[in-house]
């Protein structure tokens, strides 16, 4: 079965992923400082962003963060949680007084120097930056001139292709939109109708002008008739018909279908006006202190009120928590936290 000391140290490591410092009451505080990604030239490595863990023995005041987290996760009262922590601190100092080291897995090692001052050596086994948690250092190899030339050429080709796409794409989108719009208003049907009418008119003109026998145009000096070469009484009527051909019927005009427009229905009544109500979502609360005595909580409340901050007291699990406000975004809570710090009032952010 896992010991209480092991569970407490697990919770400390978990809290360091979210908070900048975690205090073990009457022992000291672990502080996490942000470090950006950096290049390790001698090892040809690029390390991801991380948090550098340090230990401050002066941070011994119970801020309630560790006690509350332990109470919730282990389903015990805050009094029992405080007893667990005091037991851990006693065991740690007992080991240090005997000249032994106090090791915290994946966090570091604590020892006492000649002047009985606590010394801490951080471990690099785990990255406590939640935004790059699980990332490892990446091996990088320096490119030679030929590789650089190829890389630059690929980059330029990619940029050229992107520019071409950016130039052509708007015209293509406009063309698709215009085709859809013209099809909706029946433009293509109208063009097709006029094209068919034009073909029929050309056919009619060709029939009127067509004369397949140029010899028939000659007029015989004796008969004074057209088509004199094949003139006879039996085909006189046919000849006259050729001279006066019957008119070709004109094409009937076709009308385009007219889209019927329906009148908009009359409004039976004006819609009811809907007013939106903004409900503030509280994701984070700023805790100034957690006290076992209500009188102490009221003193802290008075101190906050005098400093110009709004606060309230909430009773939870037999303790009195002083809350300086609830916030939707973490950066809003951080801003108020900095203002409190400028007034020498410490606080911590609790994620609900």
Q: Give me the CATH number covering residue 336.
A: 3.30.70.1070
Domain co-membership, 29 together with 126: yes
Is residue 233 assigned to a domain? no
Domain co-membership, 97 together with 123: yes
Token pair, residue 303, equals: 């101190």
- Rounded distance between C-alpha atoms, residue 313 and residue 175, angstroms: 66
State which H helix or E strand residue 52 sits in: strand 50-56
Tens of pLDDT along 174-231? 989 888 888 878 777 776 667 776 666 665 655 555 544 544 444 444 444 444 444 4
SS3 state of residue 143: coil
How many Cβ atoms are within 10 Å of 300's Cβ, its own excluded? 18
Token pair, residue 265, equals: 């229905």
Name the residue among 320, 350, 322, 321 with its Cα closest to residue 334: 350
Higher pLDDT, 25 or 42: 25
Is residue 208 assigned to a domain? no
Which residues, 6 or more positions from 297, have their beta carbon under 8 angstroms from its beta carbon? 289, 291, 313, 320, 321, 322
Token pair, residue 105, equals: 């897995």
For the chain, the domain total comes to 3
Tell me the backbone φ, ψ of residue 225, rounded to 5 degrees.
-120, 150
Residue 85 pLDDT > 90:
yes
Mean pLDDT of the chain: 77
Where would I find the H helices in 17-64?
A: none
SS3 state of residue 231: coil
- Rounded distance between C-alpha atoms, residue 73 and residue 11, angstroms: 9
Domain co-membership, 81 together with 152: no
Tens of pLDDT along 97-107? 888 999 988 88
Is residue 156 assigned to a domain? yes
Structural domain containing residue 86 = 4-139
How many Cβ atoms are within 10 Å of 78's Cβ, its own excluded? 19
- Is the pTM for the entire model greater than 0.95? no
Is residue 169 assigned to a domain? yes
Beta-sheet pairing, 38-40 with 21-24 = unpaired
User: For 271, how many CA atoms within 13 A lie in the half-sphere containing its CB?
Assistant: 3
Whole-number Cα distances in Å, 239 to 210, 211, 234 = 16, 13, 10
């Amino acid at each position: 079965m896992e010991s209480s000391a092991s569970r407490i140290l697990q919770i400390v490591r978990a809290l360091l992923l979210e908070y900048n410092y975690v205090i073990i009451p009457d022992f000291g505080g672990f502080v996490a400082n942000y470090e950006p990604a950096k290049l390790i030239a001698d090892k040809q490595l690029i390390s991801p962003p991380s948090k550098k863990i340090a230990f401050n023995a002066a941070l011994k005041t119970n801020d309630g963060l560790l006690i509350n987290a332990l109470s919730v996760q282990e389903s015990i009262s805050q009094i029992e949680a405080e007893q667990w922590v005091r037991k851990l601190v006693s065991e740690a100092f007992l080991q240090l007084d005997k000249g032994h080291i106090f090791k915290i897995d994946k966090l570091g090692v604590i020892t006492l120097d000649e002047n009985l001052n606590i010394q801490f050596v951080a471990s690099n086994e785990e990255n406590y930056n939640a935004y790059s948690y699980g990332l490892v250092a990446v091996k990088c190899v320096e490119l030679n001139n030929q590789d650089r030339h190829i890389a630059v050429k690929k980059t330029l080709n990619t940029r050229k292709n992107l520019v071409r796409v950016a130039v052509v794409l708007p015209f293509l989108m406009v063309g698709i939109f215009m085709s859809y719009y013209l099809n909706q208003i029946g433009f293509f049907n109208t063009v097709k109708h006029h094209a068919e009418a034009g073909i029929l008119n050309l056919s009619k003109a060709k029939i009127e002008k067509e004369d397949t026998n140029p010899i028939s145009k000659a007029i015989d000096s004796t008969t004074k008739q057209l088509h004199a070469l094949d003139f006879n009484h039996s085909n006189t009527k046919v000849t006259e018909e050729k001279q006066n051909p019957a008119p070709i019927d004109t094409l009937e005009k076709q009308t385009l279908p007219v889209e019927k427009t329906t009148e908009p229905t009359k409004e039976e009544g004006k819609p009811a006006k809907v007013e939106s109500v903004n409900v503030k979502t509280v994701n984070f609360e700023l805790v100034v202190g957690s006290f076992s005595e209500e009188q102490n909580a009221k003193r802290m409340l008075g101190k906050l009120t005098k400093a110009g901050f709004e606060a309230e007291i909430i009773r939870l699990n037999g303790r009195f928590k002083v809350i300086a406000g609830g916030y939707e975004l973490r950066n809003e809570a951080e801003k108020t936290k900095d203002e409190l710090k400028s007034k020498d009032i410490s606080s911590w952010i609790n994620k609900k």
